[in-house]
A and B are shown apart, each in its own frame.
Chain A
């Protein structure tokens, strides 16, 4: 028994692996939020007039809104004036010259396993590395440009391809969508812009790595992916943040546009700092992600592995307006200690013969709360729509909670919608079976959880699947005993 306690303690005391900070000269603007701050951000990025107008409109709308409270979570009071909305670690030095990429930054990303030098990079993956409010570097840009694929930071896209950005920005998630979408639209900093031209298959995985480094800042990234007719792209997103005692705000927007016969695969491994074991600090992850399947036979697949963040509040959704379009949502959400996750998806069927699949696996441990909340809506014109949802929750420990809140709004008699959910703890028979064969309880739990999450992890690209599996075991170790 004492041996087991020892082990549990050693694991519980295990530090968040990515909790270091980088000492790099960072230009941070004054804390606070007002129209001048927005003008400053816009000016720093050298944005055109229309974008500034877009930001200001969003800001004015945000002012009229109240922070929503419907989630199954207790959001700590956020003082929006105590946050700095722009932090640039690549800022010019005092003499005004743009420096070479700071070696500290390169080191940081190396440490995170994201090499910024192309010769070191995993072949077959292009990376856009974003720290705080600025994209540090995008690799393999030239190689992608050969195929006319645009992969760059959104700020660069605003400068280089203003027409494309103007056409699609806010077309999937308008700034009036919700409170945090309005905030993001007002102050968004960097994120990635991906444009895949007609009949092009993106030859490598595109990836963005988000890192919050500076203190008292928030990250408000904005990602826009446009996939033209017949094209394909697989996009990955990863994120980490240093350990801090106060909460940090992360309110992002991801917009995806999928045209005829195109396919987008979007994978996320979210590992923001989850706060310490007493629930202090951690990232507040309040994200709006949405894909619009505009074309016929288009396909969008969201895969997410959520292990980090003190609070996760996000619903990657799909609007299936193209006929025969297909959407998928695969999610594993793990919460431990005092983490809270209220996550799920929305599938809005508008086109005919549209299909969607939802597979959600929740794992709660410690004193955490894990909720699945999802909407399946079938419009009156969506003849032959088909949905299958399955949400399973696993409870490890008697102080955690697992909840399911599915909503189904069906307005068409030819639709077939199925939903099923189960909540249970780890099967004692399975544990006994493993124990009998000399596998310790700790290991057995790991095995069973991995098997449980396999259905989702299998959907991740290989490099990420390995990382996700590792994350799962780290997040859960020490929860049995």
Chain B
């Protein structure tokens, strides 16, 4: 039996329960999503975008599915999907690509979700923070759904933290849909600090209007098996998008980032920077595609992926792709996999810096390029500290998590 079968059976059993707990807008697409999931199942490794992650194996174990309710601190911008102040029919499951097996499954099983709505010409001063704590007595599966709508001229910063309890297996799927209307600005940070036993499948879909600026950061500090997909559709002129990411892997961790930036209209700018440091037997994968459609003239696009393999057993797969159908464009990508600069190491050793310290400084500086671009000062400072601790092996996952307090 392939692993999708157990989810198909599960849904057939509990569909009434999910529908009861959920709301109309989510239920409206549920059966369609289920039909799609039944049809496509989990993507195999023969599917180009899932080449580096064995989805089937991750979903094969028997997980209990969590339907626990969401707790939200009251805020003028954050709502439960069921209590949305505006009509979300036109957004929900409209940006996401249901033909993706993971998205279809998430849409089928998600019973509630978070809706972030920033009204027209409103600037949200404080960052919106979503903390996700995975805990339970049994291996648990969690389906998170987030919808972000930035009305015209809105501005917001969103931080999503993922934590997990030790010694338990968790599987999470996540679908985030972002609609950034004209003139809006969004900074989004996803920071994963879970455990070796966690599997994460995250699909982020971003639709941008004109004169927008969207920045998405995906930071994997500690994980088990992570698969992040980020699709950006640029539908309005003069917009920009930045996709940044960094990942630190050791042990048997796997980190797979897959991005697509689809330039549909002229005069847009996209930037992409992903960096990996891999130690132990970790496996990193990066596949980024920049698609410039026929009419998207004057597109400027830069994609960079740099990787450091620190051990003989670490594996890196990288695949920076350009698909270009317009002639008046400037697109470039660069990708490197390499070792630490011996000359720099030597320089530091000469000045009395211990070798392991020198190596750590170099790794820190390597990651610094991504962290430096974070616009939110306190987060930037905190991440610098965390990354240094991570490299030292001191990252205390309990530090700012309230699980056991």
The interface of chain A, by Cβ under 8 A from chain B, is 70, 72, 378, 380, 393, 395-425
Contact = CB atoms under 8 A, between A and B. Distances in A.
B337 A421 contact: no
Given A406-B321, A410-B317, A413-B314, A395 B327 contact: yes
A417 B315 CA distance: 13
B309 A410 contact: yes
B217 to A, nearest CB: 23
A404 B333 contact: yes
Nearest to B316: A410
B6 interface: no
A423 B336 contact: no
Given A398-B297, A413-B314, A415-B309, A408 B322 contact: no
B260 to A, nearest CB: 13
Interface in B305-343: 307, 309-339
Contact of B322 (A397, A404, A415, A416): A404
A82 to B, nearest CB: 30
Nearest to B293: A401
B375 interface: no
B167 interface: no
A306 B5 CA distance: 49
Question: Which 3 pairs, one residue from A and one from B, show the smallest C-beta to C-beta distance?
Answer: A395-B327, A413-B309, A404-B322
A378 B317 CA distance: 10
Contact of A417 (B312, B319, B331, B337): B337
B251 to A, nearest CB: 15
B118 to A, nearest CB: 36
The contact size tier of chain B is 35 or more
A397 B48 CA distance: 29
B332 A422 contact: yes
29 contacts: A70-B48, A380-B313, A398-B297, A398-B326, A398-B327, A400-B325, A400-B327, A401-B323, A402-B322, A403-B321, A404-B321, A404-B322, A409-B316, A409-B317, A410-B337, A412-B309, A413-B339, A414-B339, A415-B338, A419-B318, A419-B320, A419-B336, A420-B332, A420-B335, A421-B320, A421-B332, A422-B331, A423-B324, A424-B330
A181 B294 CA distance: 35
Contacts of A402: 322, 324
Interface of B: 48, 294, 297, 307, 309-339
B320 A406 contact: yes
Contacts of B315: 409-411
A359 to B, nearest CB: 15
Contacts of A418: 334-336, 338
Given A404-B322, A422-B331, 10 more contacts: A398-B297, A406-B319, A407-B317, A408-B316, A408-B335, A415-B337, A419-B334, A419-B335, A419-B336, A423-B322
A403 B322 contact: yes
Contacts, number: 117
A380 B314 CA distance: 9
Chain A at the B interface: SS class:
strand
Nearest to A70: B48
Contacts of B312: 380, 412-414
Given A398-B294, A420-B333, A425-B328, A413 B310 contact: yes
A87 B332 CA distance: 47
Contacts of A396: 327
A321 to B, nearest CB: 19
B324 A403 contact: yes
Nearest to B309: A413
A423 B321 contact: no
A344 to B, nearest CB: 12
Nearest to A411: B315
A352 to B, nearest CB: 13
A395 B310 CA distance: 39
B323 A416 contact: no
A358 to B, nearest CB: 13
A413 B322 contact: no
B339 A416 contact: yes
Given A413-B339, A419-B335, A408 B297 contact: no
A404 B326 CA distance: 14
A398 B328 contact: yes
A401 B337 contact: no
B327 A425 contact: yes
Nearest to B320: A406
A405 B327 contact: no
Nearest to B318: A408
Nearest to B313: A380
B368 to A, nearest CB: 21
Contacts of B331: 422-424
A413 B323 CA distance: 30
Contacts of B328: 398, 425
A408 B329 contact: no
Contacts of B316: 408-410
Nearest to B48: A70
Nearest to A388: B336
A315 to B, nearest CB: 15
A421 B333 contact: yes
